[in-house]
Amino acid sequence: MGWNLIRTWTLLVYLFMFLPVAVVVLLSFNASQFGSFPMTGFSLRWFIELSQNEAILRAFRTSIVLGLMTATISTTLGVLASLALVRYRVPGANVISTLLIAPILVPEVVLAVALLLFLNFMSINKSFTLLLAGHVIFTLPFVILVVQARLVSIRRDVEEAAMSLGASPRQTFFQITLPLMLPAVLAGALFAFTISFDDITGTLFWKPGGVETVPTQIFAMLRNSISPEINALGTVMILLTVGLPLLGLAIARSASTKRGS
Amino acid sequence: MSAVTLTDIVKRFGDFTAVHRMSLEIPEGSFLTLLGPSGCGKTTTLRMVAGLLDPTEGEIQIKGKHVTNVPIHKRNLGIVFQNYALFPHKTVADNVAFGLRYRDVSAEEAKRRVNEALELVQLPNVGDRYPKQLSGGQQQRIALARAIVIEPDVLLLDEPLSALDANLREDMRVELKRIQHRIGVTTIFVTHDQSEALAMSDQIVVMSDGRVEQVGPPEEVYNTPSSEFVANFLGASNILPATAGQASGDTLPIEVGGFGSIAIPRDRAPALNGSGKARLVVRAEKLLLTRPGDAPAGSISVDGTVETVDYQGQAVRYFVRVGDTQLQAINMIDGRPFNEGDSVAVSLRPRDCAALPEGT
């Protein structure tokens, strides 16, 4: 009896969470002019229109370039910071660690305004580079958290064994440490990419005029009218942001079963 | 020429001195054990030889070369760690071959040597498995194969048996000694387990609080301890207050309360200079309990009462009261063990005793 109640409740919670998403996906295949029920027929019309919409394609390119660059820079910095914090004795390591994680704790609006005010104060104009810098700042904590956790679990004596066998510290890093923490590095990069791809608050504050990412483009489109194109765009975004991490997970899993672990 | 020479090595961590001015010579091909309780500085010493720690003061030489400032990856050492430290993402064969990549070895040569090493540790058919698919004992054999395949100048073993369970540990002990003998590599072995040290070593270095207490072959360290610490750390000993007399010829009279005067051979008291206060050390297994009147000839015997009986299978450990001291005796069982409260004769032979100066 109790269990049935819990089951029903759980089901309701999931419905509440996923039904709107399902509606968006469903409606993106609607043939009708209006993005609402009842559906008048199945069509890929909105996807085709989407692929011909210059503004959206440009936003897509921007988002992907921004996401990839954010992921690359954040992951590189995150791995280096984690190595320093976990493997070396750095004075004030705890303070540095807290500061690096802080962007998660500070509300994003505050962070966004703060960076903007700072740029104003320094009389620096908004640019793509600064947008990128902003994205790196608030994706970095995620990378560091994931990579640090993994690095702590890699025993120091494995690296020491490699060095005793003749590998220099650099060779040891590329032969032993990096391969062992690769799942975490990939997960961190994936996090950074999806968070950057998804972000709207910071991006709205930081983007220079004329540059739109997918979320800001959707936001702009919604202000005029609700076109079914947005449903199609939503479906593509869902596929990307849900599909990529799942793909990453699958790769990591197949790699670890090969090792029998 | 000695394979490893430590000269006045000191290691400090802040205010704490882990190793006090240690000097040691390790002959080529020998098996030397650093033995002591945890925190005695044995692992610190090993890590300094390995190049994983820099000594605060002093010099380390390996095969006549100063290596104090040589980084670990240029020292040509084989290290076996307590927790195996195999590379989990590489196959067993790749693990063993790892060190050969950084040496001038052709692919066929490397393959041949890896196979040889795997055969030496009696695991010839596991090359394509991953470490996690092997048992603890097998993993430690692979770690050993990986360390010796590079033909190291010195093999360093950091408590390599302590992660294994008791039966396996004894097998590996024999195995390790066999392999070391076979390839003749100079070996430094770190352990806190006295039976491992006694069974495997050519030389034992007993350490305590960062200092060397005694260096010598196993029998010497065991039979003629040079300090109370060594006597207590290796096996069970009775340490009795005594007074040394004037040596005459090859014997030295030692006056011990309850036993009277015991004339022990002079060479059983190497650290004792002249007469005065001393300590008499008698190993628990050298103290023989018999029925009153059955004491063997040639030994000194006193009356005692059995207080506690600790039955251990082939042997029994007795706590026996003699006068106002309690002594420990470990005897093989011959017939029936004594019971608590039995009156016994406690006897010892003078040549089984050793004497130490007081306060060591």
How many domains would you assign to chain B? Answer: 2
Say whether pLDDT at B167 is over 70. yes
CA dihedral sign, ordered A59, A62, A68, A70: negative
Q: List the single range of A59-73, B77-91, B223-237 with lowest mean pLDDT.
A: B223-237
- Give the Cα separation of A245 and A188 in Å (integer): 10
Residue A206 · residue A131 · CB < 8 Å:
yes
Binding-face residues of A in 111-170 toward B, CB within 8 A: 155, 157-158, 160-169
**Within a domain: B182:** yes
Per-residue pLDDT band for B257 (boundaries 50, 70, 90) equals confident
Phi, psi (deg, nearest 5) at residue B181: -65, -45
Q: Which chain B residues have a beta carbon less than 8 Å from that of A161?
A: 79, 81, 85-87, 143, 146
**Within a domain: B286:** yes
Nearest chain A Cα distance for residue B224, angstroms: 37
Please indicate whether, in this complex, the C-beta atoms of B150 and A165 are within 8 angstroms of each other. Answer: yes
- Give the Cα separation of B112 and A63 in Å (integer): 53
Q: For residue A204, count other CB atoms closer than 10 A to its CB.
A: 14
Residues B11 and B159 in one domain: yes
Per-residue pLDDT of chain A (261 residues; tens, 9 = 90+): 788 999 999 999 999 999 988 888 888 887 777 666 776 777 787 888 888 888 888 888 899 999 999 999 999 999 999 999 888 888 888 888 888 888 888 888 898 898 888 888 887 778 888 889 989 988 999 999 999 988 988 889 999 999 999 999 999 999 999 999 988 898 889 889 988 988 888 888 888 888 888 888 888 888 877 777 788 888 888 888 788 778 877 776 776 665 544
The partner residue sitting opposite B88, judged by closest CB among A164, A166, A259, is A259
ipTM of the complex model: 0.82
The partner residue sitting opposite A164, judged by closest CB among B79, B82, B130, is B79
- Give the Cα separation of B353 and B286 in Å (integer): 8
Nearest chain A Cα distance for residue B141, angstroms: 15
**Within a domain: B229:** no
Tens-place pLDDT, residues B204-213? 999 999 999 9
The partner residue sitting opposite B102, judged by closest CB among A167, A169, A179, is A167
| DSSP 8-state secondary structure symbol assigned to residue B327 | E
Residue A196 · residue A70 · CB < 8 Å:
yes
Which amino acid, B125?
A: N
**Within a domain: B228:** no
Residues B212 and B266 in one domain: no
Mean pLDDT rounded to a whole number for chain B: 89
Residues 6 or more apart whose CB falls under 8 angstroms from that of A248 comprise A186, A187, A190
Phi, psi (deg, nearest 5) at residue B7: -125, 115
The partner residue sitting opposite A158, judged by closest CB among B72, B85, B147, is B85
Residue B285 · residue B339 · CB < 8 Å:
no
| B246-272 exposure pattern, b = at least 16 Cβ within 10 A, e = fewer | eeeeebbbbbbeebeebbbeeebbeeb
Last residue of a domain, one of B223, B255, B283: B223
In the block, tokens 């440009």 appear at: A58
Q: How many alpha carbons lie under 13 Å from residue B215 in its C-beta half-sphere?
A: 10
Select the more confidently predicted residue: A34 or B100. B100
| DSSP 8-state secondary structure symbol assigned to residue B343 | E
Say whether pLDDT at B102 is over 90. yes
Please indicate whether, in this complex, the C-beta atoms of B98 and A165 are within 8 angstroms of each other. Answer: yes
Q: For residue B79, count other CB atoms closer than 10 A to its CB.
A: 30
Nearest chain B Cα distance for residue A73, angstroms: 26
- Strand B154-158 and strand B186-191: pairing? parallel
CATH number at residue B216: 3.40.50.300
Distance in Å from the first CA to the final CA of chain B: 33
Hey, which residues does B134 pair with through a beta bridge?
none
Residues B71 and B215 in one domain: yes
Hey, which residues does B237 pair with through a beta bridge?
B283
Strand segments, DSSP code E, in chain B are: 2-13, 16-27, 31-35, 57-62, 65-66, 77-80, 154-158, 186-191, 203-208, 211-216, 237-244, 251-256, 260-265, 276-283, 288-290, 300-311, 315-322, 325-332, 343-348, 353-357
Per-residue pLDDT band for B192 (boundaries 50, 70, 90) equals very high
**Of all helices (H) and strands (E), which one includes residue B351?**
none
Angle formed by the axes of helices A228-258 and A214-224, nearest 10°:
160
CA angle B36, B155, B90 (to 5 degrees): 110
| DSSP 8-state secondary structure symbol assigned to residue B257 | T
B303-322 average pLDDT score: 89
CATH number at residue B341: 2.40.50.140
What is the reported pLDDT for A15? 93
Binding-face residues of B in 68-97 toward A, CB within 8 A: 71-79, 81-83, 85-89
Nearest chain A Cα distance for residue B74, angstroms: 6
Residues B148 and B253 in one domain: no
Per-residue pLDDT band for B334 (boundaries 50, 70, 90) equals confident
**Domain boundaries A54-258, corresponding CATH code:** 1.10.3720.10
Residues B243 and B141 in one domain: no
What is the reported pLDDT for B91? 94
What is the reported pLDDT for B213? 92
- Give the Cα separation of A77 and A89 in Å (integer): 18
**Within a domain: B213:** yes
B258: left (phi over 0), alpha (psi -120 to 50) or beta: left
- Give the Cα separation of A198 and B248 in Å (integer): 95
Phi, psi (deg, nearest 5) at residue B349: -100, 140
What is the reported pLDDT for B62? 92
- Strand, coil or helix: what is B287? coil
What is the reported pLDDT for A260? 47
Best interface-test mutation with A: which of B89, B92, B153 has the largest number of A CBs within 10 A? B89
Please indicate whether, in this complex, the C-beta atoms of A261 and B88 are within 8 angstroms of each other. Answer: yes
Q: Which chain A residues have a beta carbon less than 8 Å from that of B99?
A: 165-166
Hey, which residues does B7 pair with through a beta bridge?
B59
**Within a domain: B230:** no
**Within a domain: B125:** yes
A-B contacts (CB, under 8 Å):
78
Residue A163 · residue A98 · CB < 8 Å:
no
Nearest chain A Cα distance for residue B234, angstroms: 30
Residues B219 and B116 in one domain: yes
CA angle A27, A28, A34 (to 5 degrees): 65
Q: List the single range of B146-155, B173-182, B266-275, B295-304 with lowest mean pLDDT.
A: B266-275
- Give the Cα separation of A219 and A59 in Å (integer): 12
- Strand, coil or helix: what is B322? strand
Last residue of a domain, one of B191, B223, B255: B223
Residues B176 and B321 in one domain: no
What is the reported pLDDT for B115? 93
Residues B134 and B246 in one domain: no
**Within a domain: B200:** yes
Hey, which residues does B353 pair with through a beta bridge?
B282
Reference B212, options B359, B41, B60; nearest CA is: B41
Q: Return the residue of B nearest to A255 by Cα.
A: B89
A257 touches chain B (CB under 8 A): no
- Give the Cα separation of B146 and A14 in Å (integer): 53
Last residue of a domain, one of B159, B192, B223: B223
Residues B315 and B349 in one domain: yes
The partner residue sitting opposite B50, judged by closest CB among A164, A180, A261, is A164
B278-306 average pLDDT score: 87
SS (H, E, C) chain A: CHHHHHHHHHHHHHHHHHHHHHHHHHHCCECCCCCCCCCCCECCHHHHHHHHCHHHHHHHHHHHHHHHHHHHHHHHHHHHHHHHHHHCCCCCHHHHHHHHHHHHHCCHHHHHHHHHHHHHHCCCCCCHHHHHHHHHHHHHHHHHHHHHHHHHHCCHHHHHHHHHCCCCHHHHHHHHHHHHHHHHHHHHHHHHHHHHHHCCHHHHHHCCCCCCCHHHHHHHHHHHCCCHHHHHHHHHHHHHHHHHHHHHHHHHHHHHHHCCC
Residues B116 and B34 in one domain: yes
Residues B122 and B217 in one domain: yes
SS (H, E, C) B56-75: CEEEEEECCEECCCCCHHHC
* Residue B265 lies in domain: 236-357
